[in-house]
Amino acid sequence: MSEIHHECGVAAVCHLPGAPISDLCPDGPEYASRLLPRMLLDLQNRGQLSAGITTYNPKRKQLIDTYKELGSVSEVFRLSHRERCEQLMQEYAGHAGIGHVRYATCGKEDRSYAQPFESHHLVKRKWFSFGFNGQLANYTALRDDLLSAGDHHLARETDTEIIMHLIGRELSGDRNPTLIELIRNIGTQFDGAYSLVYINARGEVLVARDPLGIKPLCYAFDGSLFAAASESVALLNLGFDPEEIKSLAPGHAITIVDGKFEIQQFVEAPRRAHCFFEWIYFANVASTLDERSVYLSRTALGVELAKLEAADGRIDYNDGNTIVVPVPDTSKAAADSMAYELGIPSREGLIRNRYSGRTFIEGGSDRRKKAETKYTPLREVLEGKRVFLVEDSIVRSTTMQVLLKRIKKLGGAKEIHVRVACPPIMAPCFYGIDMPTVDDLFAPKFLKGGPLTDGVQAAMAKKLDCDSLHYLPVESIARAINLPSIDLCQACITGNYPTDRGQELYQIDLEESGKPNTVRRAYERTRVVAAS
């Protein structure tokens, strides 16, 4: 499912001043920043366009200093070039820092949009840097409010710059809010999703999660070393005990001020709305988010697929000539589980070329060409077989159509039955996932506002040129993740958004559906319409 991507991932680290040296930071507190590239590597799945860090060191003239570039974490931090990497680690050494990996759902694909965003100031408490994972659905209202006050100008079309200026406004003049007051004052203005990491030139650190908990955020603290990241795997691989790794509660923030570690609630959390896509696709399969294992959730999706298949009963999968094939890599757990439940083999019939490039950056035919080189069918596995092809989801259908043609032509499969470990994607995301407009989605053209029936799925299968197609029903998701559906954001599969502005944007997108429009992404289209 290389057709959708997450906006980014965040990380933070701080060795408390005066605390004993942590075993996880053996080089000493001033080198805690060395841990950031390692953490970002484990978050690379969340963003491959750029990477960056900001570190704090009171012995430098640049008390906080930011390094960021376009490219993967390995490219940006020169991890394959020992001398250059060591030079960077020495130059940006510090006992505290924040990090970020980015994929562009908002703004342009150039260095000026790379995070963290640093804002210089003569006054240390006003000199800060921050990184942000998410998207603000009320971007246009916040933007217009900023631009309406005096001779103001925004250099970038991104909600990250909006947040930077809102922080700056809270710190302006004689205002001197605590970090909790700061996040409370700006957070109550947001409609949307955010996990935020922040550091200032006093070495004070703030980590905060939105009141709905849409985006994941995990932390660990061993008494000396504090670390936070979008996913638990980044903390586990640093060496933290699994019992020390926890999910930050929605509407809560962690502050480190004057060497004191505190967790406080900064805004009321009326409900939960965890993004279900984290468990079925985005997150590393080794992660645990909000006390729910990503791997176990995906295997549970496979069980749901198997139950659906057994209940359908129209395919004789016990003929000895049927196999399950996952679309690498995130559907493997679901595919293996489905195969186990049905008692048929799961085979690696598609081999992914991990060095084929980022297909989501190119548009149109370029994306199709990239998809053709990304997966190689194994004829030795597929020839003459009835194939259950298990996929995470179908968004635009570009990749799926390419795969099906290659499996038939190059793989020689006798039949292909697509099984999707997700309900149909029928609405855009306004909370930080790069999903296109309703017009660009595959499923709405067939659903037309109605239910998912056998006839609808048959029409979809005909369009894709496969023998059959089955999606999971919406209720399967909550069962697989083991959370009540009310605690999940499932807007992209139900059209019901957890925030008021998200629902408004969806209605605008529906109204604009079918009209000529050159805007590719839903939030860009709705912003233009909402501002006009």
Domain of 235, CATH number, reads 3.60.20.10
Q: Which residue has the higher pLDDT, 54 or 104?
A: 54
- Dist. CA 296–CA 80, nearest whole Å: 34
List phi, psi (to 5°) of 53. Answer: -140, 155
Q: Which of 237, 270, 303 is the last residue of a domain?
A: 270
Residue 346 lies in a domain: yes
Which domain range does residue 93 map to?
8-134+192-270
Position 54 pLDDT exceeds 90: yes
* 233 and 305 housed in the same domain: no
Q: Summarize the confidence of residues 249-253 as an average pLDDT.
A: 98
Cis upstream peptide for 312 (omega within 30°): no
DSSP letter, residue 298? H
| 485 part of a folded domain | yes
Q: Are residues 219 and 112 both part of a single domain?
A: yes
- Residue 401 is predicted with a pLDDT of 94
Torsion of CA 219, 220, 226, 230, to 10 degrees: -30
In 16-95, DSSP assigns E strands to 50-56, 64-70
Q: Which of 9, 10, 481 is nearest to 290 (CA)?
A: 481
> Which residues are within 8 A (CB) of 484 and not within 5 positions of it... i.e. 6 or more apart?
478
Q: Does one domain contain both 314 and 263?
A: no
Residue partners of 202: CB distance under 8 A and separation at least 6: 124, 125
Return the higher-pLDDT residue of 379 and 524. Answer: 379
Tens digit of pLDDT for each residue in 292-341? 999 999 999 999 999 999 999 999 999 999 999 999 888 999 999 999 99
232 with 101, same domain: the answer is yes
428 and 368 in a single domain? The answer is yes
List, for residues 162-188, the tens digit of each pLDDT value. 999 999 999 999 999 999 999 999 999
Q: Which amino acid is at 441?
A: L
How much is the mean pLDDT over the chain?
91
Can you give the pLDDT at residue 156? 84
Residue 152's pLDDT band, with cuts at 50, 70 and 90, is confident
Cβ pair 299, 336 in contact under 8 A: yes
pLDDT tens by residue, 379-432:
999 999 999 999 999 999 998 999 999 999 999 999 999 999 999 999 999 998
Q: Average pLDDT in the 373-384 region?
A: 93
For residues 265 and 314, state if they share a domain: no
524 vs 516: CA distance, rounded Å: 14
Residue 351: beta bridge partners? 376
In a domain, 164, yes or no: no
Q: For residue 317, what are its two tokens?
A: 């999968």
> pLDDT tens, 492-517?
999 999 999 999 999 999 998 888 76
Same domain, 264 and 405: no
Alpha carbon distance 338, 394 (integer Å): 18
Does residue 226 sit within a domain? yes
Whether 397 is in a domain gets the answer yes
The answer on 263 and 367 residing in a single domain is: no
Question: Which element (helix H / strand E) includes 403?
Answer: helix 398-409
Closest CA to 167 of 150, 194, 500: 194
Tell me what the mean pLDDT of segment 515-528 comes to.
58
The number of domains in the chain is: 2
For residue 480, name the pLDDT band (cuts at 50, 70, 90).
Answer: very high
Look at residue 356 in the predicted model and tell me its pLDDT.
Answer: 60
Asked if residue 506 is part of any domain, the answer here is: yes
Please give the pLDDT value at position 188.
94
> What φ, ψ does residue 21 adopt, rounded to 5°?
-65, 125
Q: Are 376 and 403 in contact (CB under 8 A)?
A: no
Three-class SS state of 381: helix
CB 398 within 8 A of CB 343: no
- Quick one: 201 and 319 in the same domain? no
- The count of C-alpha atoms lying within 13 angstroms of the C-alpha of 70, restricted to the half-sphere facing its C-beta, is 7
Q: What is the mean pLDDT of residues 198-223?
A: 98
Residue 438 lies in a domain: yes
Alpha-carbon gap, residue 497 to 175, rounded angstroms: 35
Catalytic (active-site) positions: 8
pTM over 0.75: yes
| Lowest mean pLDDT, pick from 5-9, 194-198, 418-422 | 5-9
Give the whole-number percent of the chain exceeding pLDDT 70. 91
Residues 6 or more apart in contact with residue 472 via CB below 8 angstroms: 301, 304, 305, 308, 420, 421, 422, 423
Of 203, 217, 325, which Cα lies nearest the Cα of 256?
203
Both 211 and 84 in one domain: the answer is yes
Per-residue pLDDT, 328 = 84
pLDDT at 2 over 70: no
Where is 225: in which H helix or E strand? strand 225-229
And the tokens for 449? Answer: 């506002």
Residues 388 and 248 in one domain: no
Report which DSSP code applies to 157.
Answer: S
Q: Would you say residue 37 has pLDDT above 60?
A: yes
CATH code assigned at 498: 3.40.50.2020
278 domain-assigned: no
Task: Grade residue 25 by pLDDT with cuts at 50, 70 and 90.
Answer: very high
Instruction: Give pLDDT, residue 326.
Output: 97
Residues 266 and 297 in one domain: no
Percentage of the chain exceeding pLDDT 90:
82
